[in-house]
Amino acid sequence: MKVHPRCSYCLLSRVHLEAKLSTDDEELMHKAILGGIEVLREKYMPGMPAAELATPMHRKAYEILNDNDPYIKMKELSNKAAAKVLPIIRSHVYNGHGNDNDLFKRAILAAVIGNYFDYGVMGLDVPIDVFEETFIEHFRRGLDIDDTDRMLDKLSNVVYLADNCGEILIDTLVLEAIKRMGGRITLVVRGAPILNDVTLEDIKDDNIFEMADRVMTTGSNAIGIRFEEAPLELKEALENASLIISKGMANYETLSEENYRPIAYLLKVKCDPVGEDIGANKGSSVAKLLE
Amino acid sequence: MKVHPRCSYCLLSRVHLEAKLSTDDEELMHKAILGGIEVLREKYMPGMPAAELATPMHRKAYEILNDNDPYIKMKELSNKAAAKVLPIIRSHVYNGHGNDNDLFKRAILAAVIGNYFDYGVMGLDVPIDVFEETFIEHFRRGLDIDDTDRMLDKLSNVVYLADNCGEILIDTLVLEAIKRMGGRITLVVRGAPILNDVTLEDIKDDNIFEMADRVMTTGSNAIGIRFEEAPLELKEALENASLIISKGMANYETLSEENYRPIAYLLKVKCDPVGEDIGANKGSSVAKLLE
């Protein structure tokens, strides 16, 4: 996905959020903004991939703030919130009628809604206490783009690209469904802390490791996957996958610049540029397959 | 008022809005953003007056867009909408009980609420069709900071600094009230188009000229009043006023850097930085007097 004019100020607002999460020092906040402006000036270019602007923006902010994980408390909060609502979500996924295929489809829907567990995108935050209500509402509404039927025969060797903390717990319902259907799973998490994204560290206390046949990382703290920084094993896994399941906007921004197929993008559309690119309105629940 | 980190990306979002209002050419939109980034890099400095960043940001955008009034249609829309709701607002101001003092106070409240006629501030736009409902709700709620009582004995020679199109029609209720109480009025509008702000051109068809004893301008299209660019007669008027009534955030941002007294700031708080500076939450109705 290419950069949109809106990305410029949205990213600067994220830098400010990171500064506020990291420090009370107003001078340091100004310095983080100044760093963001400097990166904008150096990098912003029409037609560039959006992530090639986002990654250096965040990295500069983290460097200036001298903080390699400003979202750490927010990530813990996300995980706690998700753990709390998981039994309710699980009951919605398992209590419906139908076979394993139906279960898979409901799990996909739940995982897309789980993509709401992402804080800091301007204008579409969901407070924890209204999440459950929101979840049920979105579950009833279903997917706005729904290609799940066409994913069913592609589950033998899935590469699952995780997105946020919290959300990852909801993703386990999809992992479970794939395992029930005999599929093999490669779970991919971020190589180092960035935004609210899940890393190895964030899942070490859960039994998520055991649900996947193998776990690998993106190799760095880049937004989504930055292929110059990704390990060879990840590229091989993507090439050999029967299906890549890509969660969230950051993975979409970077994978949409590549040609790995078949790939299923599962996400909540949280901003207009991504919405325009993927062909859905802001707020939509998307499970889009490209073959 | 000093610049806040948030001003950086809010201003960049305004540049984008101006580009969208002015053109469909995506390349030109990117150029406007690039221009905004360049001004941010050149000017943004902790501790600087916010308007000293805002004015060159907007000017650069107008220059790149080759458009000296991107808001022109929006301004017409504001004026039409205000003309439509003015009779309702007038009836609320005049139908209450009490004397001229009470009338003045209700007119001030209406004029503060009229400051909602300002489009484009991120996150607090009010669509035309809900304005009337919103007005009545805010009228019932009253002022959050209310120093109107202390203005009553200062109305002999008022300098009234106007803000937006549309809003100016609601302001006439205050001008009327001041005239009823025997006061003299100097009305000040922007020297050239900037944002949704009212200029001589915008009021030439109304009878607003006749309501004021004299009309002058800020001398340029700067945000609020840029004193290097303001005519001497304006400075003299401000010095000799029995009361300066300053409408809206842009006038506040610039006048709060000066020492003209007594000055009454009438505004709706539309962003956190102004709210923090003036001591009221976002969304508050403020009529604050400094003596």
Query: Would you state the pLDDT for residue A120?
Result: 40
Half-sphere exposure of A245 (CA within 13 A, CB side): 34
Closest Cα in chain B to A17: B6
Which strand ranges, in their side-by-side order, compose the sheet holding B214-217? B145-146, B285-290, B263-268, B243-247, B157-161, B184-189, B214-217
Identify the residue among B9, B16, B23, B124 best suited for mutation to test binding to A, counting A beta carbons within 10 A and taking the highest: B9
| Chain B positions in Cβ-Cβ contact with residue A6 (cut-off 8 Å) | 13, 16
Q: Does A10 touch chain B (CB under 8 A)?
A: yes
B8 touches chain A (CB under 8 A): yes
Residue A277 near residue A256, CB atoms below 8 Å = yes
How many other C-beta atoms lie within 10 A of the C-beta of residue A239? Answer: 11
- Nearest-Cα distance to chain A for B121, in Å, is 13
pLDDT for residue B84: 81
How far does chain A reach from its first CA to its final CA, in angstroms? 18
Q: Measured between CB atoms, does A260 come within 8 Å of chain B?
A: no
Range 57-76 of A in CB contact (< 8 A) with B: none
Residues of B in contact with A5 (CB under 8 A): 16, 19, 29-30, 32-33
The pLDDT score that the predictor gives to residue B85 is 81
Q: What is the ipTM of this complex?
A: 0.89
pLDDT of residue B269: 95
From the CA of A150, how many Å to the nearest CA of chain B? 36
Spatial distance between the Cα atoms of B259 and B290, rounded to a whole number of angstroms: 10
Best mutation target, B21, B33, B44, to test chain A (most A CBs within 10 A): B33
* Closest-CA distance of chain B to residue A139, Å: 27
The SS3 call for residue A85 is helix
- Residue A125 touches partner B, C-beta closer than 8 Å: no
Bridge-partner residues for B246, per DSSP? B161, B265
Q: What is the pLDDT of residue B131?
A: 66
What residue ranges define each of the domains in chain A, with the CATH number in brackets? 5-65 (1.10.8.380), 72-290 (3.40.50.10880)
pLDDT at B123: 36
State the Cα–Cα distance between residues A33 and B3, nearest whole angstrom.
Answer: 12
Please give the structure tokens belonging to residue A99: 């076979």
Cβ neighbours for A150, distance < 8 A, ≥ 6 positions apart: A289, A291
Cis preceding linkage at A87, omega within 30? no
CB A115 within 8 A of CB A266: yes
Per-residue pLDDT of chain B (291 residues; tens, 9 = 90+): 999 999 999 999 999 999 999 999 999 999 999 999 999 999 999 999 999 999 999 999 999 999 999 999 888 888 887 888 888 899 999 987 789 999 999 999 999 998 876 644 433 355 656 667 777 888 999 999 999 999 999 999 999 999 999 899 999 999 999 999 999 999 999 999 999 999 999 988 778 989 999 999 999 999 999 999 999 999 999 999 999 999 999 999 999 999 999 999 999 999 999 999 999 999 999 999 999
Q: Which tokens in the block code for residue B70?
A: 């991107």
Residues of chain A under the 50 pLDDT cut: 119-124
**A-B Cβ pairs (cutoff 8 Å, strict):** 62
Query: What pLDDT shows up at residue A127?
Result: 62
- What's the confidence (pLDDT) of residue A128? 55
Per DSSP (E only), the strands in chain B are 145-146, 157-161, 184-189, 214-217, 243-247, 263-268, 285-290
CB-closest option in B8, B34, B36 to A33? B8
Nearby residues of B231 by Cβ (< 8 Å), 6 or more positions away: B216, B217, B219
Are A3 and A43 contacting, i.e. CB atoms less than 8 angstroms apart?
A: no
| Torsion sign (Cα): A89, A91, A92, A97 | positive
Please tell me the predicted confidence (pLDDT) of residue A134. Answer: 76
Q: Which residue of A has its CA nearest to B44?
A: A34
Report CA-CA distances (Å) from B264 to A14, B138, B240, B255: 35, 20, 15, 10
Nearest CA in chain B to A27: B46
Please tell me the pTM assigned to this model. 0.92
How many C-alpha atoms does B237 have within 13 Å on its Cβ side? 23
> What pLDDT is attached to residue A230?
98
- For residue B44, list chain A residues with Cβ-Cβ distance below 8 A: 33-34, 37
What is the reported pLDDT for A81? 78
For Cα atoms A196, A201, A206, give the angle at the middle one, nearest 5 degrees. 95
Q: How far is CA A235 from CA A183, A230, A248, A260, in A?
A: 20, 7, 19, 9
> Which of A12, A29, A121 is the best substitution to test chain B (most B C-beta atoms within 10 A)?
A12
